[in-house]
Amino acid sequence: MYMKTAVINFKVDPKLKAAAQARAKKLGVSLSMILNDTLKEFASGKPMSIDFPEEQMTPHMEKLIAEIEAENEREGTVGPFDSVDEAIAYLETQHNAD
């Protein structure tokens, strides 16, 4: 029976691809079969374990955070506020003081 197929291209570390192909070959299946099965599980909503890489900040983001931290040390911070109204009242006092 013929099954329609779609092609998915994605980037993967060449060493990982080679290792996965070697393991699939040892099991007597194609890497395509392994990936199809994994996609079926993912699409069905079955629980899966996914290791997300630790996020890395860009140099620009690190600079912004350093600037904000330095400003907080110089000028201090306000709050926390117990309500939005309390925060707005504080902002209005600052605006009126200018």
Residue 84 within a domain = yes
The number of domains in the chain is 2
Per-residue burial over 29-50, b = 16 or more CB atoms within 10 Å of its CB, e = otherwise: eeeeeeeeeeeeeeeeeeeeee
Structural domain boundaries enclosing 92: 59-97
Residue 53 within a domain = no
Residue length, the chain? Answer: 98
Residue 7 within a domain = no
Residue 27 within a domain = yes
For residue 92 the two structure tokens come to 């209005």
Residue 1 within a domain = no
Sequential pLDDT tens for the chain (98 residues) = 567 889 999 999 999 999 999 999 999 999 999 999 999 999 999 888 888 778 888 999 999 999 988 888 887 778 789 999 999 998 998 877 76
For residue 22 the two structure tokens come to 């070697």
Whole-model pTM above 0.75? no
